[in-house]
Structure 1
Amino acid sequence: MRTLRSFTSRPDSGGPRAHASPGPTWSRRLTPLVAGVLVLAGCAGPGDEPAPGSGSPTPIPSEPATSEPSSSTSSPGGSDPSSSPTGSSTDTGTAGSGCPATNDGPPPGAAVAEIVDVDGDGRPDSAWITAGADRAIGVTTASGATFSAPISSASPIPASAVVGSVATTDAGDAPVVLVDLGREAQVFALTGCAVTQTVDDAGQPYVFDRGFGGQGTGVGCSDVDGAPRLAGLLAEETSDGWTVTRTLIDLSDGARLAGNGSVEVVATAAAADDPVVTTAQEVSCGDQVAGAGGLTEPADG
């Protein structure tokens, strides 16, 4: 599995840490995810973080919603998916009617959380996650449709997730789910009545580094020119404080395809407890933070 061209899957490291300046590694695993609120309970909140440059798909931190770097304390404002969706419905529901109903729902034992409407019928839907070797991330809509995709990762850390709506380059906003696996964060598009893992232009999973590979430390949703953007973030400690770099992710094809976009330093000489720094070490969207309430993988068995 590739990581933003600089973000690639690797064994968990146990949490974010400061890294050397980002290189073109995030490429394809960092996608702009902005404050489009769908995060398991509505994404609208803390700022976003910056994300490092691109390279192989590797997670990139996202920055808080302020896009100006400050000199002291700043506020940062046609490939096929690698895993096929499971579940029954793959047809897009008629606008306003939601996805076609199926005869299943969340699997027994799955952790379930209410999220914002992802199929356009105006009613809140539910996201769920299962545990164990065959863990999966899925959605059950108010219309009765259930669809899911496997979470492929060797990470032993329980998965947690947030859902949000972010801007794409070709069709307005699209709902996505960000899955935090400790050492990396994966992105899945929730369009077309399916859960589809987002890939880069080479067809490899677009993954964000979470401090394991040195290309990024977090992922977030940033408000850029009034639109929510998915972003990879990198927080690095220097002799005079923390520097946060944000890489916006360019999403297309309903958020099923991602590529690294513009890179910007959004904070310099910032304090360790500055929101722009702490947010750059999380997987979040608005006021929803993966692992802090919301959707978390249940204990296996």
Structure 2
Amino acid sequence: MPFGQYAFDRINIDSIRIANLTGKPKPTDIIVKDRYSRLWAYDNNLELLWKFNGKNTGHFMFTKDIDRDGKEEVVVGYHLLDHDGKLLWTLPIESDHTDEIVIGPIDPERKEDIIAMACGDEGFILSDLKGNIIKRHLIGHAQRISVGNYRPDIKGYEICVATYWGYQGIIYIFDCKGNLLHQFEQPVPGNIITPVNWTGDGKDLILLCGHVQHGGMIDGFGRKVVTFPDDGHPILCAESIDLTGDGRDEILLWDEKKMFIYTQQDNGIKSNVLVPNKYPIINGSNYRGEYSFYNT
């Protein structure tokens, strides 16, 4: 990189993603990204497949086989790359970077998936797979994003976005077309807004954080429906994952010293549970946009 145009004098790796760029039965390729301009793609033998030097690649890549050729495309920052690293298009956004990305069948009236992005000061953006912006909201510094069946009473999936930096702690809920349904302000930061399959009936809740008073889980109307007891549990970190194997999620709350795990009152045993397609564990990241899609 030209001197003076890069903020770090050594390679500063920002994220790593496991992907399927070579059409194997399962993802075994590795994409390495620096902060925030270069990508290197390797196969499982660490042989270089391709590299990409682009402007503003954001925090974390999202990969999906968009053209259904058995190989995944890469959405990184505002760019769509083919499986071989070829640039297909770039959104007309010049400043700030993408924090989190989700691609999926959000709007049932569209034949193709759409892309939902939290883009910092550039706000919340919905795009189609051809690089056309569908909807955009300048909501402050959009930091986190999740997609789930938060409102089963309306069509499609709902999108939750949380802000940080300056307008910190505002939670927005949009419908599948990007229309605002609800918004409210949280008095504590660090809301992860992860979709939680808590009841197993196809309705997702939104995990905020482990704070006794201001944390817990809300529904798609912004109503707090699950709270955590005042039992001395840590509140630094939170995560949602199915640990008992019944298809529903447990909640993990932890810090550097201890972890508390919460499950449903029936001790994590239930039949006829609807199990959604969620983010693969192999690509866990602080910068991943979360999703919960059913029957896809």
Q: Same fold by TM (over 0.5)? A: no
Richer in strand (by share): 2
TM-score bin, normalised by smaller chain = 0.3 to 0.5
- Report which structure shows greater RCO (CA 8 Å, sep ≥6): 1
TM-score, length basis structure 1: 0.36
- TM-score w.r.t. structure 2 length? 0.37
Q: Which has the larger radius of gyration?
A: 2
